[in-house]
Structure 1
């Protein structure tokens, strides 16, 4: 597939809104996250942290138990609710840190309500199987193995050309597909593809995908009229840039950088945004 657009620093800057004197916490973007589980409470913390660090004005977390307690311990600014019903948000993030095999009937009902709503939904990990047939504007964020399972679900044959495979899945699903990897590919529903360099191999560590979900939710909520694929590409670029900053590439870490953990990437997001806007 030849016509793949490369996403640049300047392109990414177009999705970063500088708040003005007329802005309030709602106009800056409200993100809702239904993520994490008793087995993976950290996924909830990482996504919420990233949403705040990426500039959200208001973050609402839906959950109870260990995940909700961990979110409040880390980010007390977050509004925590046990149910999504009635929550007014500009974008949702669902599925991170969850497993479809342990999903209850109540869980599935609430997720389907979100997936059939009017606002964009970032769909990750344990909610990807619910995406086909959903009516909300969707941004699916599978890694390679999840993408292979998604292809099986929609009856799409494997394809060694990742860009073509992502484009085919996006058109079949009627959803934007962000295929994670050393080079992240964002395929729109019309078959067009954007490529984003992941930034550094140090990002290949547990939890960085949860951070990406929070970034994407924050940017989608802040840019309600922008094309989802372009906002997704900006989020992926910003995530990669934060990874480079966290790893010290070009700074104290030299050319090659150093190991990082997912929370390092979330904490580097404000510096990454400031650098892009400079």
Structure 2
């Protein structure tokens, strides 16, 4: 049976800032997400990244004015980063050649990349360390690109994808499965069913990007599997907290509600709750 990720595991990953830290040593995440059709994905991912706790977010995608309206502390100039988040709110079918070249450049770099949605088709063959975050249909498309049969949804299937890809796979679903190329896999139980709503995947991408950037700002970063599983756990816990604010049976929440509650989930982990 695959290991189930828990708060005690997340506590080993969450980086608590020290007096000696500055915005660069706390981690810088580069974000290239969103599109004309789905600009909100960029806002949600950037919001979630800031809420998770890191030193800086650099946003270099379209419609930066929307991101700045929500999070004015975001930097919209290119520069040094410890991780990238790409693909959320984009569609490979409508992606232009210039954007494809820019994404390939990121994937040919040395810093880790969280690859979501419309950039998943570019992940195979990546030189950079990657974490891909597909849902079930995207997972099957990725497996097809890797010459694999459709997934049966099992941890073994996700591990097979990770081996073929040479990267870490976070399969989103009612129960999240994370696997890496070494054959390790863990499961993350869902927070609440209220989490199944538009935009929450973009929030997960921001949480994961922030954890990766903060970890890789250190000399000895955590493995990507641990970071991905911890992101999924915090995502689910934030959703549970947001829903519970509406009563003991929960209630409707939005993606921004989840992002806004991430600091409480992080604080619980730090406090050992």
TM over 0.5: yes
Partner of 2:156: 164
Partner of 1:24: 22
Over residues 101-122 of structure 1, what are the superposed CA-to-partner deviations in whole Å (9 max), with x where a residue is unaligned? Answer: 1111110111001001111100
Partner of 1:232: 228
Moved over 3 A (4+): none
Over residues 163-200 of structure 1, what are the superposed CA-to-partner deviations in whole Å (9 max), with x where a residue is unaligned? Answer: 11100000001010000001100011111111001211
Partner of 1:126: 118
Count of residues in Structure 1 that have an aligned counterpart in Structure 2: 267
Over residues 72-122 of structure 1, what are the superposed CA-to-partner deviations in whole Å (9 max), with x where a residue is unaligned? Answer: 1101100113xx5xx210110000000001111110111001001111100
Partner of 2:92: 100
After TM superposition, give the deviation of residue 18 of structure 1 in Å. Answer: 1.2
Is 1:185 aligned with 2:177? yes
Partner of 2:267: 274
Calculate the TM-score normalised by the size of structure 1.
0.94
Within the candidate set 100, 107, 110, 1:115 is matched to 107
Q: Secondary structure at the match of 1:177?
A: strand
Within the candidate set 195, 199, 207, 2:199 is matched to 207
Q: Is the 8 A contact 2:43 2:67 kept in 1?
A: yes
Partner of 2:75: 79
Q: Secondary structure at the match of 1:194?
A: strand
After TM superposition, give the deviation of residue 276 of structure 1 in Å. Answer: 1.3
After TM superposition, give the deviation of residue 252 of structure 1 in Å. Answer: 4.7
Partner of 1:216: 208
Partner of 1:54: 52
**Whole-Å Cα distance in 2 between the matches of residues 146 and 160 of structure 1?**
13
Q: Is the 8 A contact 2:238 2:265 kept in 1?
A: yes
Q: CA RMSD in A?
A: 1.1
Partner of 1:44: 42
Partner of 2:247: 253
Partner of 1:242: 238
Q: Secondary structure at the match of 2:155?
A: helix
**Whole-Å Cα distance in 1 between the matches of residues 32 and 179 of structure 2?**
24
Q: Is the 8 A contact 2:140 2:151 kept in 1?
A: no
**Whole-Å Cα distance in 1 between the matches of residues 129 and 53 of structure 2?**
22
Over residues 243-266 of structure 1, what are the superposed CA-to-partner deviations in whole Å (9 max), with x where a residue is unaligned? Answer: 000111xx5520x31110000000
**Whole-Å Cα distance in 1 between the matches of residues 246 and 269 of structure 2?**
20
